[in-house]
Structure 1
Protein backbone atom coordinates (compact mmCIF):
# COMPACT_ATOMS: atom_id res chain seq x y z
CA UNK A 1 0.00 0.00 0.00
CA UNK A 2 1.24 3.48 -0.84
CA UNK A 3 1.80 6.03 1.91
CA UNK A 4 -0.69 8.89 1.95
CA UNK A 5 0.52 12.33 3.02
CA UNK A 6 -1.85 15.15 3.91
CA UNK A 7 -0.72 18.70 4.68
CA UNK A 8 -2.87 20.72 7.05
CA UNK A 9 -2.79 24.45 7.70
CA UNK A 10 -2.75 25.97 11.19
CA UNK A 11 -6.15 25.58 12.84
CA UNK A 12 -7.39 23.09 10.24
CA UNK A 13 -9.30 20.02 11.40
CA UNK A 14 -9.44 16.53 9.97
CA UNK A 15 -11.80 13.72 10.92
CA UNK A 16 -9.95 10.38 11.05
CA UNK A 17 -11.73 7.10 11.79
CA UNK A 18 -14.31 8.95 13.88
CA UNK A 19 -11.80 11.14 15.77
CA UNK A 20 -11.47 14.89 15.27
CA UNK A 21 -7.93 16.24 15.07
CA UNK A 22 -7.03 19.93 15.03
CA UNK A 23 -3.53 21.16 14.35
CA UNK A 24 -2.03 24.36 15.77
CA UNK A 25 0.63 24.79 13.08
CA UNK A 26 1.31 23.64 9.56
CA UNK A 27 1.52 19.86 9.78
CA UNK A 28 1.91 16.94 7.46
CA UNK A 29 0.22 13.69 8.41
CA UNK A 30 1.44 10.46 6.90
CA UNK A 31 -0.96 7.52 6.87
CA UNK A 32 0.80 4.18 6.60
CA UNK A 33 -2.32 2.00 6.49
CA UNK A 34 -5.95 2.20 5.38
CA UNK A 35 -7.80 5.06 7.00
CA UNK A 36 -11.13 6.78 6.61
CA UNK A 37 -10.85 10.55 6.80
CA UNK A 38 -12.69 13.71 5.92
CA UNK A 39 -11.16 17.15 5.62
CA UNK A 40 -12.87 20.04 7.36
CA UNK A 41 -13.46 21.78 4.01
CA UNK A 42 -15.72 18.91 2.98
CA UNK A 43 -17.81 18.84 6.15
CA UNK A 44 -21.36 20.08 5.73
CA UNK A 45 -23.05 21.62 8.74
CA UNK A 46 -26.58 20.44 9.60
CA UNK A 47 -28.09 23.83 8.74
CA UNK A 48 -26.59 23.59 5.23
CA UNK A 49 -28.48 20.34 4.49
CA UNK A 50 -31.39 22.25 2.95
CA UNK A 51 -32.18 20.07 -0.08
CA UNK A 52 -32.66 16.31 -0.52
CA UNK A 53 -29.20 15.74 -2.02
CA UNK A 54 -27.53 17.89 0.62
CA UNK A 55 -29.35 15.87 3.28
CA UNK A 56 -28.11 12.67 1.65
CA UNK A 57 -24.57 14.11 1.61
CA UNK A 58 -24.93 14.88 5.32
CA UNK A 59 -26.04 11.29 6.04
CA UNK A 60 -23.06 9.80 4.18
CA UNK A 61 -20.80 12.26 5.98
CA UNK A 62 -22.09 10.90 9.30
CA UNK A 63 -21.17 7.37 8.20
CA UNK A 64 -17.61 8.58 7.56
CA UNK A 65 -17.27 10.67 10.70
CA UNK A 66 -18.55 7.94 13.03
CA UNK A 67 -17.78 4.63 11.30
CA UNK A 68 -18.31 2.53 14.45
CA UNK A 69 -21.90 3.72 14.81
CA UNK A 70 -23.09 4.11 11.24
CA UNK A 71 -25.99 1.63 11.12
CA UNK A 72 -28.71 4.25 11.70
CA UNK A 73 -27.16 6.60 9.14
CA UNK A 74 -26.89 3.73 6.64
CA UNK A 75 -30.59 2.91 7.08
CA UNK A 76 -31.50 6.58 6.65
CA UNK A 77 -29.37 6.68 3.49
CA UNK A 78 -31.17 3.67 2.02
CA UNK A 79 -34.65 4.99 2.73
CA UNK A 80 -33.81 8.51 1.53
CA UNK A 81 -32.18 7.21 -1.64
CA UNK A 82 -35.24 5.08 -2.44
CA UNK A 83 -37.54 8.09 -2.11
CA UNK A 84 -35.24 10.22 -4.27
CA UNK A 85 -35.10 7.61 -7.02
CA UNK A 86 -38.91 7.78 -7.19
CA UNK A 87 -38.94 11.58 -7.17
CA UNK A 88 -36.17 12.81 -9.46
CA UNK A 89 -36.62 12.82 -13.24
CA UNK A 90 -33.12 14.01 -14.14
CA UNK A 91 -31.30 10.96 -15.55
CA UNK A 92 -27.88 12.22 -14.37
CA UNK A 93 -29.14 12.54 -10.80
CA UNK A 94 -30.78 9.11 -10.92
CA UNK A 95 -27.60 7.52 -12.29
CA UNK A 96 -25.50 9.33 -9.68
CA UNK A 97 -27.77 8.14 -6.86
CA UNK A 98 -27.49 4.59 -8.15
CA UNK A 99 -23.69 4.85 -8.26
CA UNK A 100 -23.58 6.37 -4.77
CA UNK A 101 -25.76 3.57 -3.46
CA UNK A 102 -23.47 0.93 -4.95
CA UNK A 103 -20.48 2.66 -3.36
CA UNK A 104 -22.16 2.74 0.06
CA UNK A 105 -23.01 -0.96 -0.29
CA UNK A 106 -19.31 -1.65 -0.93
CA UNK A 107 -18.45 0.49 2.12
CA UNK A 108 -16.79 3.11 -0.09
CA UNK A 109 -18.52 6.01 1.65
CA UNK A 110 -15.90 8.60 0.76
CA UNK A 111 -16.37 7.93 -2.96
CA UNK A 112 -20.16 7.98 -2.45
CA UNK A 113 -19.82 11.35 -0.73
CA UNK A 114 -17.88 12.74 -3.69
CA UNK A 115 -20.47 11.35 -6.11
CA UNK A 116 -23.38 12.94 -4.26
CA UNK A 117 -21.46 16.21 -4.00
CA UNK A 118 -21.11 16.23 -7.79
CA UNK A 119 -24.92 16.01 -8.09
CA UNK A 120 -25.65 19.07 -5.95
CA UNK A 121 -25.18 21.58 -8.82
CA UNK A 122 -27.65 19.54 -10.92
CA UNK A 123 -30.13 19.63 -8.07
CA UNK A 124 -29.63 23.37 -7.66
CA UNK A 125 -30.29 23.82 -11.37
CA UNK A 126 -33.46 21.72 -11.23
CA UNK A 127 -34.67 23.71 -8.23
CA UNK A 128 -33.88 27.02 -9.93
CA UNK A 129 -31.24 27.91 -7.34
CA UNK A 130 -28.43 30.14 -8.48
CA UNK A 131 -26.29 30.39 -5.35
CA UNK A 132 -24.76 27.22 -3.99
CA UNK A 133 -24.78 27.22 -0.20
CA UNK A 134 -22.20 24.43 -0.17
CA UNK A 135 -19.58 25.33 -2.77
CA UNK A 136 -16.74 23.03 -3.81
CA UNK A 137 -13.39 23.48 -2.06
CA UNK A 138 -11.69 26.71 -3.03
CA UNK A 139 -8.22 25.36 -3.65
CA UNK A 140 -7.12 22.67 -6.04
CA UNK A 141 -4.73 21.56 -3.29
CA UNK A 142 -7.50 19.87 -1.34
CA UNK A 143 -8.87 18.07 -4.37
CA UNK A 144 -5.43 16.72 -5.22
CA UNK A 145 -4.93 15.47 -1.71
CA UNK A 146 -8.24 13.67 -1.74
CA UNK A 147 -7.71 12.15 -5.15
CA UNK A 148 -4.51 10.62 -3.86
CA UNK A 149 -6.38 8.26 -1.58
CA UNK A 150 -9.20 10.05 0.17
CA UNK A 151 -10.59 7.41 2.38
CA UNK A 152 -9.86 3.81 3.14
Structure 2
Protein backbone atom coordinates (compact mmCIF):
# COMPACT_ATOMS: atom_id res chain seq x y z
CA UNK A 1 0.00 0.00 0.00
CA UNK A 2 1.43 3.35 -1.04
CA UNK A 3 1.92 6.29 1.31
CA UNK A 4 -0.06 9.29 0.14
CA UNK A 5 1.07 12.72 1.35
CA UNK A 6 -0.71 15.98 0.72
CA UNK A 7 1.74 18.82 1.12
CA UNK A 8 0.83 22.38 1.97
CA UNK A 9 2.42 25.20 -0.02
CA UNK A 10 6.13 25.47 0.83
CA UNK A 11 5.92 22.54 3.28
CA UNK A 12 9.11 20.54 3.77
CA UNK A 13 9.48 16.79 4.14
CA UNK A 14 12.50 14.57 4.56
CA UNK A 15 12.62 11.42 2.44
CA UNK A 16 15.53 9.06 3.10
CA UNK A 17 17.57 11.97 4.44
CA UNK A 18 16.83 14.28 1.51
CA UNK A 19 15.00 17.53 2.38
CA UNK A 20 12.29 18.31 -0.14
CA UNK A 21 10.28 21.55 -0.22
CA UNK A 22 6.93 21.83 -1.94
CA UNK A 23 6.27 24.64 -4.40
CA UNK A 24 3.71 27.41 -3.85
CA UNK A 25 0.70 25.15 -4.43
CA UNK A 26 -0.79 22.25 -2.56
CA UNK A 27 0.52 18.97 -3.97
CA UNK A 28 -0.09 15.29 -3.39
CA UNK A 29 2.74 12.77 -3.50
CA UNK A 30 2.42 9.05 -3.54
CA UNK A 31 5.39 7.04 -2.26
CA UNK A 32 5.09 3.55 -3.66
CA UNK A 33 7.87 1.71 -1.87
CA UNK A 34 9.37 1.68 1.61
CA UNK A 35 11.09 4.93 2.53
CA UNK A 36 11.91 6.91 5.64
CA UNK A 37 9.58 9.91 5.45
CA UNK A 38 8.87 12.64 7.98
CA UNK A 39 7.24 16.05 7.72
CA UNK A 40 9.28 19.03 8.88
CA UNK A 41 6.58 19.88 11.43
CA UNK A 42 7.28 16.57 13.21
CA UNK A 43 11.00 17.32 13.56
CA UNK A 44 12.50 18.78 16.71
CA UNK A 45 14.85 21.69 16.28
CA UNK A 46 18.33 20.83 17.52
CA UNK A 47 18.26 24.04 19.57
CA UNK A 48 15.15 23.11 21.59
CA UNK A 49 15.40 22.65 25.35
CA UNK A 50 16.97 19.22 25.95
CA UNK A 51 14.46 17.54 28.25
CA UNK A 52 14.75 13.76 28.77
CA UNK A 53 11.89 12.90 26.39
CA UNK A 54 13.03 15.39 23.77
CA UNK A 55 16.53 13.91 23.92
CA UNK A 56 15.14 10.44 23.15
CA UNK A 57 12.86 11.88 20.44
CA UNK A 58 15.78 13.72 18.84
CA UNK A 59 17.91 10.55 18.78
CA UNK A 60 15.08 8.58 17.14
CA UNK A 61 14.55 11.41 14.67
CA UNK A 62 18.26 11.31 13.82
CA UNK A 63 18.07 7.54 13.28
CA UNK A 64 15.12 8.08 10.95
CA UNK A 65 16.83 10.77 8.89
CA UNK A 66 20.36 9.35 8.88
CA UNK A 67 20.35 5.61 8.25
CA UNK A 68 24.15 5.53 8.55
CA UNK A 69 23.92 6.34 12.29
CA UNK A 70 21.39 3.68 13.29
CA UNK A 71 23.83 1.00 14.42
CA UNK A 72 25.37 3.34 16.97
CA UNK A 73 22.16 5.17 17.94
CA UNK A 74 19.79 2.26 18.60
CA UNK A 75 21.51 1.07 21.81
CA UNK A 76 21.63 4.67 23.10
CA UNK A 77 17.96 5.18 22.21
CA UNK A 78 16.93 1.96 23.97
CA UNK A 79 18.87 3.02 27.08
CA UNK A 80 17.18 6.46 27.08
CA UNK A 81 13.76 4.84 26.67
CA UNK A 82 14.49 2.40 29.51
CA UNK A 83 15.35 5.38 31.72
CA UNK A 84 12.10 7.12 30.73
CA UNK A 85 10.11 4.00 31.59
CA UNK A 86 11.27 4.32 35.20
CA UNK A 87 10.27 7.98 35.45
CA UNK A 88 6.69 8.12 34.17
CA UNK A 89 3.46 6.71 35.57
CA UNK A 90 1.62 3.74 34.16
CA UNK A 91 -0.64 6.08 32.19
CA UNK A 92 2.27 7.12 29.97
CA UNK A 93 4.85 4.37 30.32
CA UNK A 94 2.98 2.19 27.80
CA UNK A 95 3.82 4.75 25.12
CA UNK A 96 7.50 4.57 26.08
CA UNK A 97 7.44 0.76 25.73
CA UNK A 98 5.63 1.11 22.42
CA UNK A 99 8.34 3.49 21.17
CA UNK A 100 11.05 1.02 22.27
CA UNK A 101 9.24 -1.76 20.43
CA UNK A 102 9.06 0.29 17.22
CA UNK A 103 12.76 1.16 17.49
CA UNK A 104 13.54 -2.56 17.83
CA UNK A 105 11.57 -3.18 14.65
CA UNK A 106 13.32 -0.34 12.81
CA UNK A 107 10.14 1.74 12.39
CA UNK A 108 11.43 5.06 13.67
CA UNK A 109 8.47 7.13 12.49
CA UNK A 110 6.05 5.06 14.58
CA UNK A 111 8.47 5.33 17.51
CA UNK A 112 8.31 9.12 17.22
CA UNK A 113 4.51 8.97 17.07
CA UNK A 114 4.45 6.85 20.23
CA UNK A 115 6.63 9.39 22.07
CA UNK A 116 4.53 12.45 21.23
CA UNK A 117 2.00 11.91 24.08
CA UNK A 118 4.93 11.38 26.47
CA UNK A 119 6.45 14.65 25.30
CA UNK A 120 3.12 16.43 25.91
CA UNK A 121 2.93 14.94 29.42
CA UNK A 122 6.50 16.02 30.12
CA UNK A 123 5.64 19.57 29.01
CA UNK A 124 2.61 19.56 31.35
CA UNK A 125 4.78 18.40 34.25
CA UNK A 126 7.44 21.04 33.59
CA UNK A 127 4.74 23.74 33.30
CA UNK A 128 3.24 22.65 36.62
CA UNK A 129 6.69 22.59 38.22
CA UNK A 130 7.43 26.06 36.86
CA UNK A 131 4.11 27.39 38.19
CA UNK A 132 4.78 25.87 41.63
CA UNK A 133 8.29 27.33 41.66
CA UNK A 134 6.94 30.77 40.74
CA UNK A 135 4.29 30.56 43.45
CA UNK A 136 6.86 29.48 46.03
CA UNK A 137 9.18 32.35 45.04
CA UNK A 138 6.30 34.81 45.34
CA UNK A 139 5.41 33.52 48.80
CA UNK A 140 9.02 33.72 49.92
CA UNK A 141 9.18 37.28 48.66
CA UNK A 142 6.13 38.23 50.81
CA UNK A 143 7.72 36.86 53.96
CA UNK A 144 10.69 39.22 53.78
TM tier relative to shorter chain: 0.7 to 0.9
Please report the RMSD computed on the Cα atoms of aligned residues, expressed in angstroms.
2.1
Aligned to 2:51: 51
Cα pair distance change 1:83/1:3, threshold 3 Å? closer
Who is 1:5 aligned against? 4
* 1:66-85 matches, cutoff 5 A: 66-85=66-85
Deviation at 1:49, TM superposition (A): 4.3
Whether contact under 8 Å (1:18, 1:68) holds in the other structure is: no
Contact map agreement 1:14 1:39 (CA 8 A) in 2: yes
Considering Cα pairs closer than 8 Å and 6+ residues apart, tell me whether 1 or 2 has the greater RCO.
Answer: 1
1:121 aligns with 2:109: no
Radius of gyration: which is bigger?
2
Following the alignment from structure 1 to structure 2, what is the Cα–Cα distance between the partners of residues 120 and 99?
A: 14
The structure with the greater share of residues assigned to helix is 2
Q: What is aligned with 2:19?
A: 20
Q: Distance in 1 between matches of 2:8 and 2:126?
A: 36
Q: CA deviation at 1:79?
A: 1.9
Q: Which sections of structure 1, spanning at least 5 residues, go unmatched?
A: 132-152
Q: Deviations over 1:54-113 (max 9, x none)?
A: 111111111111123322221221221222233x14112322211110111011211110
Task: Provide TM-score, normalisation by structure 1.
Answer: 0.74
TM-score, normalised to structure 2's length?
Answer: 0.78
In structure 1, C-alpha distance between the alignment counterparts of 2:73 and 2:114, rounded to whole Å: 17
